[in-house]
Amino acid sequence: MTRNFSASSLILASISLVIAFTFGCGGDGQDGHNSLVSIENEPAGDNCSDGGLAVKSGLDTNGDGVLDSDEVSSTQYVCNGTSGHASLFTTTDEPAGENCINGGFLIESGMDMNDNQVLDPDEVQSSGYVCTSEGFAIRVSSVWPGEECASGGVRIETGMDTNEDGVLNDDEVEQVQYACNPSFASIEAGSGNTCALKTDGTVWCWGYNEFGQLGNGTHRFSLFPGQVSSVRQVISLSSYETSSCAVKSDGTAWCWGKNDYGQLGDGSTTERTLPVKVSSLTDALAVQTGSKHSCALKSDGTVWCWGSNDHGQLGDGSNTSKSTPVQVASLTDVASISAGSNFNCALKTDGTVWCWGSGGIGQLGDGTSEDRNTPVQVTSLTDVAYVSAGGEFCCAIKTDGNAWCWGNNLSGQLGNGSTDSTAAPEPVSSVTDLVSISGGFQHTCATKADGTLWCWGKNDSGQLGDGTNIPRMTPLKLSTIDDVASVSAGGGHTCAVKNDGSAWCWGSNHLGALGTGNDMDSNSPVQVLIQP
């Protein structure tokens, strides 16, 4: 049996396998010593330009069952891909014979040049043998996300084949190790779809896919996360209704999905089911997608937008849509940006917030209900540390940990105990010490430093995650999830990443946005599953 693995998407968790076998041709250890192998992360550098795995082997001369640094006799590297291609390696059962006296495994590695996630014969660049010692057996199997591996992975069991049947039976297992998939770093709840960034820089999407917003080259919906094709080394990710965008570590931005207003930024209005590079945009740090437009923050503190401009959401002083980026007028020293339905807000390094675009329900926070095609300062709001634009409202956290919101309040999403909309910031009731906040279509969620999660607003699909479908006009602490690192409120669902790297979603799921393998709504958090 052959197993395909990706060094960039499978075994990047640091593991050390204490296994009695030899890497390379050969069999038993010498002078009564066991041969040990360890597999460890290799950072980006001279050995692997984009990082990867270091496979070390040697004899356990001191008999402590650990491959110590002075016992390492050889090191081989399985490196992550370059030029946009993943590095794959496969393990294939090797029968007893010339290559391995007692049998073992053939390990082959190379770059996935055709991006089909399979290491084809013409892509193999290096190979080696892992040969078992006499009487030694190994069993490799996939594991679902859970306690052993937050995002799933591979279980490696070893032991002595005491009944000599050539199989590692359950009662012969002496040691179990796990090679875990990379965990989630952040998550973006859209409208019927979800995308997430993993710690290895890959992007995974699931759910609604009518316009190719899953980035997998198809229009097929998906109940499980699937990797976005040909975009890696990602540092920033955003997903809204029908399109998604990502920024890579080289400062380029890439978008996919619906493009009827040029919101993908490639100079066209052609729908894309695979990521395309945003034209003439360099040195990007972050990207945000709205309903029909997108914006990026550059390293020089300027903001650039593209797509629909019917409400002035591109901020260039006009109402003309653009299919390539244009600079937002009179806006510098920006620390972060957030895109809403047809408007945007930016947090400057001096702690002030500036918004532009649609303002019909007061979402620009300047005390009016007018559209603005250049940024205006939010009224009476300073010392801001965090900002998030929702559907037609916006929220901010000040440096004292208190939250303020403004705009549409039809479902109580401003969290002030009423359903009255406001064109100027008002304090969120009864919650303090907040560190992050996320505005959805008509609901809001925020995290505290202690890892607790608080939500309020619309709850018809269970998007507040409190186990009910009752709307809340003030923040409610969720007893159904803890140890939360980040949260994203979407259209009718919400997702969060916990500190252990696992991802959890709740709310509307009729299009598969929860990533649980089914289409049933849930009014409490359920773990996102990745098929092993």
Say if residue 163 is in the same domain as residue 297: no
Among 283, 300, 325, the domain-final residue is: 325
pLDDT band of 38, cuts 50, 70, 90: low
Does residue 250 lie within any of the structural domains?
A: yes
Does residue 528 lie within any of the structural domains?
A: no
pLDDT band of 505, cuts 50, 70, 90: very high
pLDDT band of 123, cuts 50, 70, 90: confident
**Are 495 and 504 within 8 A, CB to CB?**
yes
Q: pLDDT at position 37, please?
A: 63
**Are 441 and 191 within 8 A, CB to CB?**
yes
Enumerate residues 6+ apart whose C-beta is below 8 A from 489. Answer: 189, 390, 438, 439, 440, 441, 443, 444, 445, 455, 463
Does residue 451 lie within any of the structural domains?
A: no
Query: CA torsion angle for 216, 493, 245, 320 (degrees, to 10)?
Result: 120
Query: Would the pLDDT of 84 be above 50?
Result: no
For range 157-168, the mean pLDDT: 84
**Are 313 and 240 within 8 A, CB to CB?**
no
pLDDT band of 77, cuts 50, 70, 90: low
Say if residue 55 is in the same domain as residue 24: yes
Structure tokens of 219?
A: 């229009």
> Within 13 Å of residue 4, how many CA atoms lie on the same side as its CB?
15
> How many angstroms separate the Cα of 524 from the Cα of each of 150, 196, 447, 459, 473?
19, 20, 16, 11, 19
Say if residue 129 is in the same domain as residue 163: yes
- What is the distance between the alpha carbons of residues 298 and 465, in angstroms, rounded to a whole number? 35
Say if residue 32 is in the same domain as residue 79: yes
Say if residue 75 is in the same domain as residue 175: yes
Q: pLDDT at position 113, please?
A: 65
Does residue 371 lie within any of the structural domains?
A: no
Our count of domains for the chain comes to: 2
Does residue 289 lie within any of the structural domains?
A: yes
Say if residue 121 is in the same domain as residue 247: no
Among 274, 305, 325, the domain-final residue is: 325
Q: Which domain holds residue 267?
A: 184-325
For range 475-484, the mean pLDDT: 97
DSSP string across 349-371? TTS-EEEEE--TTSTT-SSS---
Handedness of CA 474, 348, 401, 528 (dihedral sign): positive
For position 204, which CATH number holds? Answer: 2.130.10.30
Q: Could you tell me how far CA 263 lies from the centroid of its own chain?
A: 21
Does residue 62 lie within any of the structural domains?
A: yes
DSSP β-ladder status, 293-298 and 284-289 = antiparallel
> How many angstroms separate the Cα of 109 from the Cα of each of 106, 186, 445?
10, 29, 44
Say if residue 219 is in the same domain as residue 127: no
Q: pLDDT at position 19, please?
A: 31
> How many angstroms separate the Cα of 11 from the Cα of each of 94, 119, 277, 285, 397?
22, 16, 28, 27, 37
- What is the distance between the alpha carbons of residues 43 and 19, in angstroms, rounded to a whole number? 23
Query: Would the pLDDT of 368 be above 50?
Result: yes
Say if residue 298 is in the same domain as residue 176: no
DSSP β-ladder status, 104-111 and 422-427 = unpaired
pLDDT band of 118, cuts 50, 70, 90: confident
Q: pLDDT at position 3, please?
A: 35
Does residue 396 lie within any of the structural domains?
A: no
Among 301, 325, 349, the domain-final residue is: 325
DSSP one-letter code for 92: E
How high is the mean pLDDT of the chain?
86
Q: Pick from 334, 330, 352, 332: which is nearest to 288 by CA?
A: 334
Query: Edge-to-edge strand order for the sheet containing 293-298?
Result: 284-289, 293-298, 303-307, 322-327
Q: Pick from 380, 371, 300, 297: which is nearest to 339 by CA?
A: 297
Query: Would the pLDDT of 2 be above 60?
Result: no
Structure tokens of 518?
A: 């089914």
**Are 247 and 235 within 8 A, CB to CB?**
yes
Say if residue 167 is in the same domain as residue 18: yes
DSSP one-letter code for 104: E
pTM of the model: 0.78
Query: Would the pLDDT of 45 be above 90?
Result: no
> Within 13 Å of residue 435, how many CA atoms lie on the same side as its CB?
11
Say if residue 77 is in the same domain as residue 225: no
- What is the distance between the alpha carbons of residues 473 and 478, in angstroms, rounded to a whole number? 15
Query: Would the pLDDT of 253 be above 90?
Result: yes
- Among 164-168, 328-332, 470-474, whose mean pLDDT is lowest? 164-168
| 375 torsion bin: left (phi>0), alpha (psi -120 to 50), beta (else) | beta
Query: Edge-to-edge strand order for the sheet containing 72-79?
Result: 35-42, 52-59, 72-79
Q: pLDDT at position 98, please?
A: 83
DSSP string across 222-267? EEEEEEPTT--SEEEEEE-SSEEEEEETTS-EEEEE--TTSTT-SS
DSSP string across 151-190? T-EEEEEEEE-TT-SSS--GGGEEEEEEEEPPPEEEEEE-
| 265 torsion bin: left (phi>0), alpha (psi -120 to 50), beta (else) | left
Does residue 138 lie within any of the structural domains?
A: yes
For range 302-314, the mean pLDDT: 98
Q: pLDDT at position 18, please?
A: 31
Enumerate residues 6+ apart whose C-beta is below 8 A from 525. Answer: 465, 478, 480, 481, 496, 504, 505, 506
Say if residue 30 is in the same domain as residue 150: yes
For residue 398, give the amino acid letter: K
Say if residue 169 is in the same domain as residue 274: no
Structure tokens of 304?
A: 């650039």
pLDDT in tens, 401-460: 999 999 999 999 999 999 999 999 999 999 999 999 999 999 999 999 999 999 999 999
DSSP β-ladder status, 443-448 and 434-439 = antiparallel
